[in-house]
Amino acid sequence: MNERILLGITASAAAFKGVALASLLRKEGYEVDGILSMNALRFVSDTQLACVTGRPVFSSLFTDQPGDPVPHISLTDGCSLLIVAPATADYIAKTANGIADDLLTSVFLANEAPVVMAPSMNSRMWANPATDGNVSKLRNRGITFAGPASGHLACGSMGEGRMMDPVEILSICLRILSGKY
Ligand SMILES: Cc1cc2nc3c(=O)[nH]c(=O)nc-3n(C[C@H](O)[C@H](O)[C@H](O)COP(=O)(O)O)c2cc1C
């Protein structure tokens, strides 16, 4: 059986780049289970992500007719890597503080595989001491941060906070998966 990766996408202007990363991971031969935060559904669709992964896409912790009543646990069982790209300031803050109030934050708490986060946000949000402290907390717990890069931001300004290029994130993920990072 192929290795399975969890790819979370949160509600950033760079959400479409998360879909591109899913495509790259699948081309490398990985099974990719896509998870969209509820707010990410305002930026990309579950159908779009499912077309790229070829698998069901998840976003709800609770469903009306649960085929699986505990998706946050079953998704994390046996996965090789959890990637969250893009990762919003909100997601970073919640996970740094143990908050698990939706599927993707609950997956983070239940997960035992290595984690890569690719932050994406306005440069002032990235520089905010609250975000900085949250990133430090997660780094100290072994979370790998891919980026952010500097450059043009969705708000029209330049600065640090741009999501790293999906090809570069892929390269970091492949090194982690092969134990060479
Ligand atoms: C158009 C638009 C673009 C946004 N882009 C970002 C972003 O790039 N990074 C970020 O941290 N928040 C961004 N936000 C704010 C998040 O969407 C907001 O904090 C949301 O609650 C995050 O939800 P999630 O972390 O559950 O996905 C944006 C909001 C809007 C309206």
Return the best residue to mutate from 12, 101, 153, 155 for the ligand 1 pocket (most ligand atoms within 8 A of CB): 12
Q: What is the pLDDT of residue 77?
A: 95
Q: From first to last of its 181 residues, what are the pLDDT tens digits of the chain?
A: 579 999 999 999 999 999 999 999 999 999 999 999 999 999 999 999 999 999 999 999 998 777 888 889 999 999 999 999 999 999 999 999 999 999 999 999 999 999 999 999 999 999 999 999 999 999 999 999 999 998 887 878 888 899 999 999 999 999 999 988 8
Catalytic residues: 155
The CATH number of residue 69's host domain is 3.40.50.1950
Which residues touch 179 (CB under 8 Å, ≥6 apart)? none
Distance, in Å, from the CA atom of 167 to the CA atom of 24, rounded to the nearest integer, reads: 8
> Residue 35 Cα, ligand 1 centroid: separation in angstroms?
16
Distance, in Å, from the CA atom of 75 to the CA atom of 73, rounded to the nearest integer, reads: 6
Q: List beta partners, residue 83.
A: 7, 116
Cα separations in angstroms, 85 against 6, 92, 167: 11, 11, 12
pTM: 0.97
Which helix (H) or strand (E) segment holds residue 92: the answer is: helix 89-96
Q: What is the pLDDT of residue 151?
A: 84
Distance, in Å, from the CA atom of 126 to the CA atom of 89, rounded to the nearest integer, reads: 7
Beta strands in 48-129 (DSSP E): 57-58, 81-87, 115-119
Distance, in Å, from the CA atom of 137 to the CA atom of 142, rounded to the nearest integer, reads: 9
Range of the domain at 32: 4-177
Distance, in Å, from the CA atom of 34 to the CA atom of 12, rounded to the nearest integer, reads: 16
Q: What is the pLDDT of residue 1?
A: 54
Distance, in Å, from the CA atom of 78 to the CA atom of 98, rounded to the nearest integer, reads: 22
Q: What is the pLDDT of residue 111?
A: 98
> Residue 11 Cα, ligand 1 centroid: separation in angstroms?
5
Cα separations in angstroms, 155 against 102, 142, 158, 174: 27, 31, 9, 31
Which residue's CA is minimally distant from atom 19 of ligand 1? 90
- Structural domain tally of the chain? 1
**Token pair recorded at residue 32:** 């990719």
